[in-house]
Chains A and B, each alone.
Chain A
Amino acid sequence: MELRDQIMGAYADHLREHGAPPATVFKFVQGLSIDERSFFSEFPNFDAVESALWKGMVQRVAQAVSGGDEWIGFSARQRVLTFLFAFCEESLAWRSLLLLRVGKCGPLSRAAHVKGLETGFKEFMGPVIEHGMASGEIVGRGPLTNTYPEVFYLHFRAVIDFHLKDDSAGYERTDALIEKSVALAFDLLGKQAVDSAFDLAKFVFVRPT
């Protein structure tokens, strides 16, 4: 196993076991029988280790779903749904860690240790949004278009937060939330009356000089 993975694995175990990050890097590397220098050559600090951990988890789910036979034929909406369902299913394997580190800081937190969730998710969403724009499911709205990945990320965090608080049998309420909220998101991102209104307003009020 590569040193990087070894550190990430040991760090995840430590968090789950002790419920908190190790006090110092010195103490942490003793369990791994490596020296501090090796640690710092891979990661600048503990937050970076954890961030990489989350990013890896998102990437694994993204790879698993996009490698499926049916992926090519899926619309953007189906791709988002598939990812979210798969993420929630997969996250049961490390739910305690998610509860401890993501659940506690709330859906709006930008803490350094969860940064990897964001980067991993946005990397995944980039091509999905492009696919949706190509198929017309998602409408480009000038500079607003750049906020789409951010909007989807906030939605993703809200879904995680809901999933962590969900106490229904088999987390069925999370399924319903994903289904309904993604439907709403795509209804809002698709072409709407407001787009036509904007177009008309531009025509009436803005004259080319």
Chain B
Amino acid sequence: MTGQDTIRSTPVTRMASLAGTGAKVGINYLKHYGRRALGQESTSLDEENAQTIFKTFSELKGGPLKLAQMLSIDQNLLPTAYAKQFAQAQYSAPPLSYPLVAKTFRREFGSNPLTIFDEFTREAIHGASIGQVHRAQKWGKTLAVKVQYPGVAESLRSDLRIVKPFALQVLGLRESDIAAYISEIETKLLEETNYLLERTRAEQIASACGDIPNIRFVNYYPEICSGKILTMDWIEGITLDQFADGNADQEARDQVGQALWDFYDRQVHTMRLFHADPHPGNFLVRKGEVWVLDFGCTKEITADFHSKQFRFVDPGLLEDEQALIEALEALDVLLSTDSASDRAQIMASCRQWLGLLAAPFHAEIFDFGDENFLREIYELGEENRRDKLMRNLRGRRGSPDTIYVNRAFFGLYSLLSRLRARVKTTKPS
């Protein structure tokens, strides 16, 4: 039970730990400027800061970890160096003690885990940000049992409250910039604590996407599922990033990449309900097939919003000034109150973005292995982040729904780039 030695338990120690981060970031700046004064070559300041911050966030669980993950997905909001560090935040979390797991079982099902299962691991096998996974045996099958931390909904709220001002300061963001994010994050986080909803969504998506080649879904066992506990098949496989960084050949990479693309195509354009948390830890690869895990974060969009949002993949749009203006106004990216010069700048920036982000839709077969593609996205994001006007606009324009569409596509693009996959892309009809 050494797992708990590293828990930052009280709000006070959490505060202390975050305050420590602030101090360390300050020191990194001093070091940086010191080095510059001495005429030495400066190392990447962002990178050093990112490591310091990441170290702190990974010692906290729940809210801060989630916040870090969410911000890391939207490359637009954070410098690349930070985003890379935060992307690692996906696997760590401290375990619950076994007696508390047993108590949760007694409360949900009236008996101990060992009464329900033939075997049940006392230690958690994986941590997640709001729960942990144990391995169990029953009916001759190996099962994965996800148990939620008690009181997690409330602690998420209080964590976010404590962490928000610090995080904003340390990351150099302003609250108004990301107000829409924070409230969406809160709503979605609370939704994630409802395991019954997660199961419903998972089954909905699985039944609508079951025929897509090479995409697989796990079975749930409803009799051992509740609002706090989920029981499903245990899948042996490697996570998508392990697969991508391993020595799989191009054909295998293409197959996995194609499966992911088709999966998102079906969800976003046909179901308009999608898995909005595409980070590599949520996908396992086994024998060339992709198993989709964790439907805690899903997003539903309306047909109306979908048609507005995906007008942008029409290649003719960039040529047609008037149509582009209409499309941007429909999404509240352009407002009628904008001055002419602001309008021009926003239009120019949107053209650049669209040219880049819609590129995969326009190609017959798109090669995500092209390093320039993702780098250009990062660079453009970086440029926008530094630009005063664009920064002022951030978070105040557009529908909050855009956050999750962006998150899904940024996530998908970075997964595919990591895979270096070549994908036959499809457009919404």
Among the 9-residue stretches B45-53, B148-156, B256-264, B408-416, the one with 4 or more Cβ atoms under 8 Å from chain A is B148-156
Among the 9-residue stretches B2-10, B162-170, B171-179, B329-337, the one with 4 or more Cβ atoms under 8 Å from chain A is B2-10
- Asked whether A168 is an interface residue with its Cβ less than 8 Å from the other chain, the reply is yes
Q: Please report the total number of B residues contacting A with Cβ < 8 Å.
A: 22
Q: Chain A contacts of B106 at CB under 8 A?
A: 89
Among the 9-residue stretches B92-100, B182-190, B265-273, B351-359, the one with 4 or more Cβ atoms under 8 Å from chain A is B92-100
Q: Chain A contacts of B154 at CB under 8 A?
A: 168, 172-173
Are A69 and B150 in contact, with the CB atoms below 8 A?
Answer: no
Q: Do A77 and B151 contact each other (CB < 8 Å), given the known contacts A175-B103, A183-B7?
A: no
- Report the tally of A-B residue pairs with Cβ distances under 8 A: 58
- Asked whether B102 is an interface residue with its Cβ less than 8 Å from the other chain, the reply is yes
- Asked whether B1 is an interface residue with its Cβ less than 8 Å from the other chain, the reply is yes
Are A75 and B9 in contact, with the CB atoms below 8 A?
Answer: no
- Asked whether A47 is an interface residue with its Cβ less than 8 Å from the other chain, the reply is no
- Asked whether B55 is an interface residue with its Cβ less than 8 Å from the other chain, the reply is no
Are A77 and B97 in contact, with the CB atoms below 8 A?
Answer: yes
Are B99 and A69 in contact, with the CB atoms below 8 A?
Answer: no
**Majority secondary structure, A binding face:** helix
- Asked whether A199 is an interface residue with its Cβ less than 8 Å from the other chain, the reply is no
Are A175 and B151 in contact, with the CB atoms below 8 A?
Answer: yes
Are A176 and B99 in contact, with the CB atoms below 8 A?
Answer: no
CB-CB nearest in chain B for A79: B99
Are A69 and B151 in contact, with the CB atoms below 8 A?
Answer: no
- Asked whether B107 is an interface residue with its Cβ less than 8 Å from the other chain, the reply is yes
- The contact of B9 among A78, A173, A175, A184, by CB within 8 Å, is A184
Q: Chain B contacts of A183 at CB under 8 A?
A: 4-5, 7, 9, 97
- Asked whether A187 is an interface residue with its Cβ less than 8 Å from the other chain, the reply is yes
Give the contacts of A60-84 with B (CB-CB under 8 A): 68-70, 74-75, 77-78, 81-82
- Asked whether B114 is an interface residue with its Cβ less than 8 Å from the other chain, the reply is yes
Are B150 and A81 in contact, with the CB atoms below 8 A?
Answer: no
Are B151 and A173 in contact, with the CB atoms below 8 A?
Answer: yes
- The contact of B1 among A77, A82, A85, by CB within 8 Å, is A77
Are A180 and B150 in contact, with the CB atoms below 8 A?
Answer: no
Are A85 and B103 in contact, with the CB atoms below 8 A?
Answer: yes
CB-CB nearest in chain B for A178: B100
State the CA gap A85–B98 with chains docked (Å).
Answer: 11
Q: Do A82 and B151 contact each other (CB < 8 Å), given the known contacts A183-B9, A184-B9?
A: no
Q: Chain A contacts of B5 at CB under 8 A?
A: 183, 187
- Asked whether A170 is an interface residue with its Cβ less than 8 Å from the other chain, the reply is yes
Q: Chain B contacts of A170 at CB under 8 A?
A: 107, 150
Q: Mark B132-151, 1 if CB is under 8 A from A, else 0.
A: 00000000000000000111
Q: Chain A contacts of B102 at CB under 8 A?
A: 82, 85
State the CA gap A82–B10 with chains docked (Å).
Answer: 22
Give the contacts of A140-177 with B (CB-CB under 8 A): 168, 170, 172-173, 175-176
Are B107 and A70 in contact, with the CB atoms below 8 A?
Answer: no
Are A176 and B155 in contact, with the CB atoms below 8 A?
Answer: yes
Q: Chain B contacts of A180 at CB under 8 A?
A: 7, 9-10
Q: Do A175 and B150 contact each other (CB < 8 Å), given the known contacts A78-B97, A180-B10, A183-B7?
A: yes
Q: Chain A contacts of B112 at CB under 8 A?
A: 68, 70
In this complex, the member of A82, A175, A180 whose beta carbon has the largest number of chain B beta carbons within 10 angstroms is: A175
- The contact of B114 among A69, A168, A172, A187, by CB within 8 Å, is A69
- The contact of A172 among B4, B96, B151, by CB within 8 Å, is B151
State the CA gap A187–B6 with chains docked (Å).
Answer: 10
Are B100 and A85 in contact, with the CB atoms below 8 A?
Answer: yes
- The contact of A78 among B10, B99, B114, by CB within 8 Å, is B99
Give the contacts of B84-133 with A (CB-CB under 8 A): 96-100, 102-103, 106-107, 112, 114
Q: 8 interchain pairs (CB within 8 A)?
A: A75-B1, A82-B99, A82-B102, A85-B100, A85-B102, A176-B155, A178-B100, A187-B5
A68-B112, A77-B1, A180-B7 given; name 18 further pairs at CB < 8 Å: A70-B114, A74-B99, A75-B1, A78-B1, A78-B98, A81-B97, A82-B99, A82-B102, A170-B150, A172-B150, A172-B151, A172-B154, A173-B151, A178-B100, A179-B97, A183-B5, A183-B7, A187-B5
